[in-house]
């Protein structure tokens, strides 16, 4: 198993003329859409790489280029020392699961999952041992995906729920023994509780089979749960790549810092003007993760990490046993964190920051991380 290396991948789309332009004989070229800008990236073997970024940043296009569904303008995709893009799609051993499930409608669940073996079985070389291996693979995949065999194996796709179809599509890809597994928001059609359940199953499955996977999503919780490596994209470029911990603890800029949010009820970063803390940070932006805000202020931290704030709001989330407190600082900026202790709305408190980022206020780049 080898890493997959993307080197300087570029893609520009030239939109075709609309019917209206065609009828009116309007010849002027439509503006080209610059989609991917020199993407270089290593996809580690046997790990899950999650690509995340705002809509239109080029995630799906990158995935389609890797799958060989569209061609890139420049650059290389290497699997070891082989150029993946020069291999015919059939030899690439790439499994894909996209939002639409694309199951074979006339195959039942078991035959869909086993479809890879369908034609192999017709060949003379198919042995009893191959049959046992295929059955074993089917059983393991089904168990890990929680596809209840006794209920589902004989059903046809039209009689399955969205979640069931999606799991069958994933199972079908896995039994094909892919070298690379590509998934584009596979759970986006499902409701929240189901998404959470299936993500956990998928994580188990991917680590069990050690499949090199690229997973595209908008969803930060999904990214943080599934990823061994996260790639944050913006406007056709990679903003930062690394482990979820690296990106969360050492974001390159405000965009990345705000993008990854493990908290369900709070923003991931509180931004305040630097001069509120000290003249040393005049013209800078300070970013504080909610978990590094202490109320009341810790005695041990330096005085210039302490600010006064008014309690503006306290929100309760009893099912999660959480209370979120919103605090207004002297310049009217509002920060929020988890409340531990009793507070009254309108009360003034002293707050300290045990760790914070210092960002350039124009470029948004991180200049320093300050630890008290
Ligand atoms: N065939 C095409 N012709 C012209 N422009 C295209 C084509 N395919 C994609 N684009 C443009 O390229 C950009 C990137 O599209 P892409 O689908 O890769 O984004 P994305 O990050 O996957 O977005 P989303 O999260 O909304 O799915 C968009 O501006 C899109 O409009």
CA–centroid distance, residue 43 to ligand 1 (Å): 22
pLDDT at 16: 63
Alpha helices in the chain (DSSP H): 19-23, 59-67, 109-113, 115-122, 128-145, 149-152, 162-175, 192-209, 220-226, 244-249, 254-259
**DSSP 8-state code for residue 157:** G
Shared domain check, 186 and 43: yes
Mutate to test the pocket of ligand 1, among 16, 53, 61, 100 (most ligand atoms within 8 A of CB): 61
Q: Is the CB of 94 under 6 A from ligand 1?
A: no
**Smallest Cα–Cα separation from 240: which of 52, 54, 12?**
52
Interatomic CA distance for residues 86 and 193, integer angstroms: 41
Which pLDDT belongs to residue 23? 66
Residue having the nearest C-alpha atom to atom 5 of ligand 1: 13
Q: What is the pLDDT of residue 51?
A: 96
42 and 88 co-located in one domain: yes
Task: Please give the pLDDT value at position 258.
Answer: 93
Q: How far apart are CA 213 and CA 206, in angstroms?
A: 8
Same domain, 126 and 140: yes
Q: Which of 227, 259, 291 is the last residue of a domain?
A: 259
Q: Which residues of the chain have pLDDT under 70?
A: 15-30, 89-90, 99-101, 146-150, 299-304, 320
Beta-ladder partners of 272? 286
Residue 166 sits in the same domain as residue 187: no
* Residue 236 near ligand 1, beta carbon < 6 Å: no
Helix (H, G, I), strand (E, B) or coil at 89: helix
Is 100 domain-assigned? Answer: no
Model pLDDT, residue 36 = 92
Spatial separation of the C-alpha atoms in residues 137 and 203, rounded to whole Å: 17
- For ligand 1, say whether the CB of 57 is within 6 Å of any of its atoms: yes
* CATH number of the domain that residue 15 is part of: 3.40.50.300
Ligand 1 atom 7, closest CA: 13
How many angstroms does the Cα of residue 85 sit away from the middle of ligand 1?
20
pLDDT of residue 234: 94
- Residue 102 resides in a domain: no
> What is the model's pLDDT at position 20?
64
Q: Is the CB of 162 under 6 A from ligand 1?
A: no
| Residue-range definition of the domain harbouring residue 236 | 4-93+178-259
The domain spanning residue 288 has which CATH number? 2.40.50.140
Cα-to-centroid distance, 322 and ligand 1 (Å): 39
Q: What burial class does residue 16 get, using C-beta atoms within 10 Å of its C-beta: 0-12 exposed, 13-18 middle, 19+ buried?
A: exposed
Residues 290 and 347 both lie in one domain: yes
107: how many CB neighbours lie within 10 A of its CB? Answer: 17
pLDDT of residue 34: 74
Same domain, 287 and 359: yes
Question: Of 259, 279, 306, which one is at a domain's C-terminal end?
Answer: 259
Q: Is residue 99 part of a domain?
A: no
Model confidence pLDDT, tens digit, residues 120-142: 777 778 888 888 888 888 887 77
Q: What is the pLDDT of residue 30?
A: 63
* Pocket lining: 240 vs ligand 1, CB cutoff 6 Å: no
- Total domain count for the chain? 3
The pLDDT of residue 147 is: 57
Q: Are 278 and 366 part of one and the same domain?
A: yes
pLDDT, position 176: 79
Q: Is 164 domain-assigned?
A: yes
Same domain flag for 194 and 68: yes
Q: Which domain-ending residue is among 174, 195, 219?
A: 174
Cα 21 to ligand 1 centroid, rounded to whole Å? 22
How far is 163 from 189, CA to CA, in rounded Å? 8
């Amino acid at each position: 198993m080898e890493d997959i290396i993307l080197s300087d991948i570029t893609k520009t789309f030239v939109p075709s003329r609309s019917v209206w332009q065609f009828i009116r004989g309007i010849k002027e070229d439509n503006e080209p859409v610059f989609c991917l800008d020199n993407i270089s990236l290593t996809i580690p073997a046997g790990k899950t790489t999650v690509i995340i970024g705002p809509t239109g940043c080029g995630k799906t296009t990158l995935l389609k280029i890797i799958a060989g569904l569209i061609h890139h303008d420049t650059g290389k995709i290497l699997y070891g020392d082989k150029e993946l893009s020069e291999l015919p799609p059939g030899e690439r051993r790439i499994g894909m699961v996209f939002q639409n499930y694309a199951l074979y409608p006339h195959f039942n669940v078991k035959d869909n999952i086993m479809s890879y073996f369908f034609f192999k079985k017709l060949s003379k070389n198919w042995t009893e041992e191959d049959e046992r291996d295929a059955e074993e693979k089917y059983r393991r995949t089904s168990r890990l995906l929680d596809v209840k065999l006794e209920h589902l194996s004989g059903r046809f796709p039209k009689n399955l729920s969205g979640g069931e179809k999606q799991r069958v599509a994933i199972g079908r890809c896995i039994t094909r023994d892919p070298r690379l597994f590509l998934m584009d928001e596979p759970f986006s059609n499902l409701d929240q509780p189901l998404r959470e359940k299936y993500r956990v199953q998928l994580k188990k499955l991917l680590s069990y089979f050690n499949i090199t996977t690229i997973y595209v999503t908008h969803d930060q919780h999904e990214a943080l749960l599934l990823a061994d490596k996260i790639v944050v994209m913006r406007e056709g470029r990679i903003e930062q790549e690394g482990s979820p911990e690296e990106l969360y603890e050492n974001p390159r800029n405000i965009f990345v810092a705000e993008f990854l949010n493990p908290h369900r009820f709070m923003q991931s970063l509180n931004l305040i003007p630097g001069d509120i803390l000290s003249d040393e940070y005049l013209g800078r932006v300070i970013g504080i993760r909610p978990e590094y805000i202490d109320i009341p202020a810790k005695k041990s931290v330096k005085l210039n990490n302490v600010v006064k704030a008014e309690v503006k709001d306290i929100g309760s989330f009893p099912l999660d046993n959480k209370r979120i407190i919103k605090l207004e600082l002297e310049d009217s900026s509002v920060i929020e964190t988890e409340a531990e202790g009793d507070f009254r709305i309108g009360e003034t408190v002293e707050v300290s920051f045990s760790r914070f980022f210092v960002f350039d206020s124009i470029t948004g780049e991180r200049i320093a991380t300050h630890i008290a």
